[in-house]
């Protein structure tokens, strides 16, 4: 079987299977990384929206992380929905305690349907406790605006936000994602030294539920395998573009992306070009 690479997601459960823990584990599997989970909250959710949020007690979250790390071990960790300041505090402590060096922070704040997945009073904890521990942070444009306090209306602004997330808040790197912009969905990576722009075609579809989770999970999987940050982000961009392009078309609202697409269509030469 060769070497088994392992990744842990610390995030919320999406009963609809398109975002959160479910999207992360599907992505890890497709990228041939063994996936594990520490669930922070259970959501009752489908393509139409979030109907309920049930937080997991702190000792339950800590127990899941300890169980996994102490026995199986992790090559990389990602965070998603952390919902409360105390959860962020706990996760930060665990990252330090377990000496996690590859940490992808997806600063999940609001679901596509509008439900809040991060309490307003958790923003400070996110900035001060988690961002300094992150190898890379992956905000969408509204999340980057909340973190930095600046308005983002251009690639220039996206670069400035990524720079601030690294220089002001202490993250190792930042990818400000362009899904919420108009035009081509260009993502801006600042790796601490230079900027990289990752561009793809925009596919006009309502089936984009879980794009951010899937993208950050793909980065995590590639980092777990030992890829450089730039290579990991490039692979993640390809993974999410194909997952959006080959939509499943299920559900009456914002449907999930296609986590099989990279595997089924990923080596088709023209798959990113048309």
Q: Which residues contribute to the site for ligand ADP (CB under 6 A)?
A: 140, 177-180, 185, 187, 200, 202-203, 208, 211-212, 215, 237, 240-241, 244
Which strands sit side by side in the sheet containing 187-190, from one edge to the other?
49-55, 34-46, 6-14, 76-79, 103-105, 136-137, 174-176, 187-190, 195-198
Catalytic residue selected from 6, 26, 78, 177: 177
Catalytic residue selected from 79, 211, 214, 257: 211
Residues 6 or more apart in contact with residue 263 via CB below 8 angstroms: 30
For the chain, give the longest Cα–Cα distance.
Answer: 49
What does the alpha-carbon distance between residue 151 and residue 80 come to, in Å, rounded to a whole number? 23
Instruction: For residue 27, indicate whether it is catalytic.
Output: no
- Among ligand ADP, ligand LCLJCK34, none, the one that 230 touches (CB under a kind-dependent 5 to 8 A) is none
Catalytic residue selected from 178, 212, 220, 241: 212
Instruction: For residue 210, indicate whether it is catalytic.
Output: yes
- Among ligand LCLJCK34, ligand ADP, none, the one that 117 touches (CB under a kind-dependent 5 to 8 A) is ligand LCLJCK34
Whether residue 102 contacts residue 75, with contact meaning beta carbons closer than 8 Å, is answered with yes
> 120 or 204, CB closer to ligand ADP?
204
Whether residue 80 contacts residue 12, with contact meaning beta carbons closer than 8 Å, is answered with yes
Other Cβ atoms less than 10 A from the Cβ of 138: the count is: 29
Least separation in angstroms between residue 116's CB and ligand LCLJCK34 is 11
Instruction: For residue 211, indicate whether it is catalytic.
Output: yes
Instruction: For residue 253, indicate whether it is catalytic.
Output: no
Catalytic residue selected from 40, 213, 237, 241: 213
CA atoms within 13 A on the CB side of 168: 12
Least separation in angstroms between residue 37's CB and ligand LCLJCK34 is 11
Catalytic annotation, residues: 177, 208, 210-213
């Amino acid at each position: 079987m060769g070497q088994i690479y392992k990744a842990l997601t610390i995030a919320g459960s999406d009963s609809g299977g398109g975002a959160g823990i479910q999207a992360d584990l599907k992505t890890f599997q497709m990228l041939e990384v063994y996936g594990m989970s520490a669930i922070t909250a259970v959501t009752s959710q489908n393509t139409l929206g979030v109907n309920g949020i049930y937080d997991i007690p702190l000792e339950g979250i800590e127990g899941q992380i300890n169980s996994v790390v102490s026995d199986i071990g992790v090559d990389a960790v990602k965070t998603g929905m952390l919902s409360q300041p105390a959860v962020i505090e706990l996760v930060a402590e665990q990252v330090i305690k377990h000496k996690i060096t590859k940490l992808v922070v997806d600063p999940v704040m609001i679901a596509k349907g509008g439900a809040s997945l991060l309490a307003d009073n958790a923003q400070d904890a996110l900035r001060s406790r988690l961002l300094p521990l992150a190898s890379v942070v992956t905000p969408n444009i509204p999340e980057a605006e909340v973190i930095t306090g600046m308005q983002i209306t251009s690639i220039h602004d996206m670069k400035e936000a990524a720079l601030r997330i690294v220089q002001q808040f202490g993250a190792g790197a930042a990818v400000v994602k362009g899904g919420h912009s108009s035009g081509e969905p260009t993502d801006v990576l600042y790796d601490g030294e230079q900027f990289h722009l990752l561009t793809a075609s925009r596919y006009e579809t309502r089936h984009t539920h879980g794009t951010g989770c899937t993208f950050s999970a793909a980065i995590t999987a590639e980092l777990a395998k030992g890829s450089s940050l730039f290579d990991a982000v490039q692979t993640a961009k390809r993974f999410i573009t194909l997952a959006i392009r080959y939509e499943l078309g299920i559900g009456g609202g914002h449907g999930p992306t296609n986590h099989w697409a990279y595997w089924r269509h990923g080596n088709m030469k023209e798959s990113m070009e048309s």
